[in-house]
């Protein structure tokens, strides 16, 4: 006869055996965390299970641990989890390429820029062109465009093209200008060649840049692959699992697709197509395309230039340059023709609009094509200065504002000079724009700004710079709440991409993209938000950082 102890042990083993048998096998269990699901109720939970790269179940620790078995179980020990972060407007490929050019960000004089370019040339002596990016005359004592004389002295025989931080102005030396065929008599539509005292200064604005940049040797396949992989590595480190690349050619999109199929490029990408003649024909014939890694269903159009380089198209002259009003980068007739074609072929129209005139022109064109209530999800990228008479058009025609919070905190030092004391009140109005459709998509525009999405989160909720200035926040009436900012970087961003059923929240059936932090971005003091680090980034249930 078995002893009571043996009977008890036997029963316990049987119970354990059958309990285990009843559990569902999954690939990964994550538990003991504080999980912001960003679902419809913005609920918080503790754990989730993942199978085949997707969330299988979300619930309490007990619910998940008692229902599932996995070969890998992660105890978060109280860490914080959010859906994978989405950058709604970036230049992912261009950022990767920019890692190999002279970095001119934050340099406070043109003389120091020349020294930085010389140093770059010494490190890359065999480059046929000298390229750089990031200068900003607003950081200099004399806040005026530079002149090419110092470039000509330093580099008389090598073509040089240095792009302004916003990408909408550049300075070229004489060698590069000669290659582009540029003289003081050259005319360009949708751009400007700056001439002083009858001489070309070397500064090119918007479409004028193309006259020189078109002469730069094309990027090789090896260079393109390296650029994409280096961009991916840096983005995973800051918690980005999806990026919107605002303006790509067919060849780059196809390379992205090849690399994703190979498995080397894991980053999920929403590709906006550049509307060149060849791209238009190819994608109109092919039609929109989407899988779990790549979405191709929109075109990126440039309405105007940038405020910093006075290329933004304004309704009234610049406050600090009464002779200038900016300009559109194409005719209204061509914008309307594109809008009608995109609508006919089922593509989103996503248009860069900075100035209040550009926003009005494009919003009115959208209205003419969309006509009223719709689910086309056409977007205005930046929506930087919007006249009060035009704001409600976002609501009437279901137009999505896609904005970059760090633009406000980068521009706030000088934007009032450009716009004046009244018009500045109509700029960077993120809260007002969000209220139109209870939605706003947030991005960074990197490499114009930092790739770190938490810099944007901080700028959105605090309206302050890296030093937490100004104390009261810049035009603080347009702050977003933390809940709104997180939605703008996750579920609202995915909606703007037609991807809300695929990603953007931690819910059953969606791809298992998530990030883990040691500190909670939803409760940490505002002044510490930029310093919070991403502990881990997971894409499709696999750790990528």
Pinpoint the residues of the chain covered by CATH 2.30.40.10.
Answer: 4-78
CATH superfamily of domain region 4-78: Urease, subunit C, domain 1 (2.30.40.10)
What share of the chain has pLDDT > 90, as a percent? 93
Which helix (H) or strand (E) segment holds residue 257: the answer is helix 250-262
d(CA 73, CA 25): 12
255-297 pLDDT per residue, tens:
999 999 999 999 999 999 999 999 999 999 999 999 999 999 9
User: CA-CA distances (angstroms) from residue 180 to 161, 186, 211, 215, 311?
Assistant: 11, 10, 5, 7, 21
d(CA 266, CA 268): 6
Pinpoint the residues of the chain covered by CATH 3.10.310.70.
Answer: 95-213
Token couple for 8: 């008890």
Whether this model's pTM surpasses 0.85: yes
Pinpoint the residues of the chain covered by CATH 3.20.20.140.
Answer: 86-91+219-543
CATH architecture of the domain 95-213 equals Roll (3.10)
DSSP result, 135-175: E-GGGSSS-S---THHHHHH-SSS-EEEEETTSSEEEE-HH
User: CA-CA distances (angstroms) from residue 504 to 219, 247, 493?
Assistant: 33, 22, 7
477-490 pLDDT per residue, tens:
999 999 999 999 99
Among 384, 448, 383, residue whose Cα is nearest residue 412:
384
Give the pairing type, strands 348-353 and 294-302.
Answer: parallel
Q: Write down the pLDDT at residue 19.
A: 47
Q: Write down the pLDDT at residue 5.
A: 53
Q: Write down the pLDDT at residue 12.
A: 47
Query: Which positions of the chain have pLDDT values less than 50?
Result: 1-2, 4, 6, 8, 11-20
User: CA-CA distances (angstroms) from residue 387 to 7, 24, 288, 448, 475?
Assistant: 81, 56, 33, 25, 16
**CA 34 from centroid of its chain's CA atoms:** 27
CATH superfamily of domain region 86-91+219-543: Metal-dependent hydrolases (3.20.20.140)
């Amino acid at each position: 006869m078995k002893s009571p102890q043996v009977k008890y042990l036997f029963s316990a083993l049987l119970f354990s055996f059958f309990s285990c048998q009843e559990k569902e096998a999954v690939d990964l269990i994550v538990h003991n965390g504080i999980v912001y699901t960003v679902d419809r109720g913005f609920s918080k939970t503790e754990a989730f299970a993942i199978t085949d790269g997707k969330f299988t179940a979300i619930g309490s620790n007990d619910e998940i641990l008692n229902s599932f078995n996995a070969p890998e179980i992660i105890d978060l020990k109280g860490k914080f989890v959010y859906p994978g972060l989405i950058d709604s407007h970036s230049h992912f490929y261009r950022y990767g390429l920019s890692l190999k050019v002279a970095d001119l960000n934050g340099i406070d004089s043109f003389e120091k820029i020349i020294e930085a370019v010389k140093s770059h040339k010494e490190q890359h002596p065999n480059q046929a062109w000298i390229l750089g990016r990031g200068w900003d005359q607003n950081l200099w004592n004399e806040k005026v465009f530079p002149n090419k004389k110092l470039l000509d002295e330093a580099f008389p025989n090598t073509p040089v093209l240095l792009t302004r931080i916003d990408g909408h102005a550049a300075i070229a030396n004489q060698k590069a200008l000669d290659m582009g065929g540029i003289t003081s008599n050259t005319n360009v539509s949708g751009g400007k060649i700056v001439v002083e005292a009858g001489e070309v200064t070397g500064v090119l604005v918007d479409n004028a840049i193309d006259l020189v940049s078109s002469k730069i040797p094309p990027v090789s396949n090896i260079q393109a692959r390296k650029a994409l992989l280096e961009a991916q590595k840096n983005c995973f480190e800051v918690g980005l699992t999806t990026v919107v690349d605002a303006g790509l050619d067919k060849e780059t999109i196809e390379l992205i697709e090849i690399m994703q199929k190979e498995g080397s490029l894991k980053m999920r990408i929403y590709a906006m197509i550049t509307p060149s003649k060849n791209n238009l024909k190819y994608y109109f014939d092919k039609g929109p395309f989407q899988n779990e890694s790549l979405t191709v269903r929109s075109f990126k159009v440039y309405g105007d230039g940038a405020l910093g380089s006075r290329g933004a198209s304004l309704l009234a002259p610049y406050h600090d340059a009464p002779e200038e009003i900016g300009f559109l980068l194409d005719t209204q007739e061509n914008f309307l023709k594109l809008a009608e074609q995109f609508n006919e072929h089922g593509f989103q129209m996503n248009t860069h609009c900075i100035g209040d005139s550009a926003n009005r022109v494009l919003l009115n064109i959208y209205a003419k094509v969309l006509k009223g209530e719709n689910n086309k999800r056409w977007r205005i990228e930046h929506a930087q200065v919007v006249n009060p008479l035009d704001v409600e058009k976002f609501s009437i025609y279901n137009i999505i504002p896609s904005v970059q919070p760090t633009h406000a905190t980068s521009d706030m030092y000088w934007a009032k000079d450009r716009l004046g004391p009244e018009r500045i009140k109509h700029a960077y109005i993120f809260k007002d724009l969000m209220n139109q459709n209870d939605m706003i998509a947030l991005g960074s525009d990197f490499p114009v700004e930092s790739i770190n999405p938490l810099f944007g989160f901080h700028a959105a909720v605090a309206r302050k710079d890296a030093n937490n200035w100004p104390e009261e926040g810049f035009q603080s009436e347009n702050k977003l709440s933390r809940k709104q900012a997180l939605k703008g970087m996750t579920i609202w961003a995915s909606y703007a991409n037609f991807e809300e059923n695929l990603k953007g929240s931690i819910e059953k059936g969606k791809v298992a993209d998530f990030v883990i932090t040691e500190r909670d971005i939803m409760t940490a003091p505002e002044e510490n938000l930029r310093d919070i680090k991403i502990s881990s980034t997971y894409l499709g249930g696999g750790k990528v950082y």
